[in-house]
Amino acid sequence: MQKVLLFSVLVPVILYGALCIWVFFWQGSLLFFPQPAEALHYGAMAKNPNLENWNIRTSDGNSLDGWVQVSPKNRTTVLYFWGNAEESTYFVDGTAYSGANIVTFNYRGYGKSTGEPSEKALFSDALEIYEYLVTVKNIAPENLVVMGRSLGSGVATYLSSQKPVRKVVLVTPYDSIENVAKDTYGYLPVSLLIRHRFESTKYARIKSIEMLCIYGGRDDTIRNPRTEKLLESWSGPVRKVFLPTATHHTIFQFDETKQAIDGFL
């Protein structure tokens, strides 16, 4: 009887411990979902006279693949950081804002970019992309707007806390990936296990920059309290656009989203 009781206790404990170990070492597979480059799509983009392919060699030897809409008459440039399961070329190819160019680079391991994604790598790459735009492409910081959606909102928040930019646009942002993970994996000791924290609230307090925040009432990926906690921490002026019926994945399908960004730019 004692052996049965011991077995019934030990097995769940061992399985729980094994799950924690797996999450600690393989959590990148739960956060990052690299999307491959599609040859036909890239080929069509290369033939588009309004698009230009840019490439950055990072300080640690990786290659970041990026694209920009070529419109010299537009002084404002939007640097876009995107979600964890997107391939950025589709955004720069299919999105337009009044009076602004859009430039975006695929994260490491996404599209044609090399390397492995991580919080440290994404933050480091964001700084290198910024320096490339400012020093090589001569884009003035006062004409640069940083924009981030979902996972990318954390990258945009970090970059805006480290470098001068004109404004920030955040779509479906969060206070930290740690807290987002707690909403989903509350049965695990998330604080002890997580390695990619993306602590946006910490960076939101560093500088006073005007920010536009757009989020949806039916977002079950990044829940509203996560976004609103970030808004409370933002040290600069905030414009908030709340779309009650928008989900995490439909937010860009609403006319109000584009109108808000156009007006903000």
Look up residue 143 and give its DSSP letter: G
Contact present, 73 and 149 (Cβ < 8 Å): no
Do 38 and 26 have their domain in common? no
Give me the number of domains the chain comprises.
Answer: 2
Output the pTM of the full model.
0.92
Do 100 and 128 have their domain in common? yes
Do 1 and 84 have their domain in common? no
Mean pLDDT, residues 235-239 taken together: 95
Do 212 and 103 have their domain in common? yes
pLDDT band at residue 19 using 50, 70 and 90 as cut-offs: low
- Over residues 20-44, the pLDDT tens digits come to 676 677 777 778 889 999 998 999 9
Do 20 and 117 have their domain in common? no
Do 185 and 56 have their domain in common? yes
Give the end-to-end CA distance of the chain in Å, rounded to a whole number.
Answer: 71
Do 18 and 107 have their domain in common? no
pLDDT value at residue 78:
97
- Over residues 120-174, the pLDDT tens digits come to 999 999 999 999 999 999 999 999 999 999 999 999 999 999 999 999 999 999 9
Which residues form the domain of 13? 1-31
What is the percentage of the chain residues whose pLDDT exceeds 90?
74
Residue 259 backbone phi and psi in degrees, to 5: -60, -40
Task: Report the C-alpha gap between 107 and 84 in whole angstroms.
Answer: 9
pLDDT value at residue 241:
98
Distance of alpha carbon 18 from the chain centroid: 30
Contact present, 156 and 170 (Cβ < 8 Å): yes
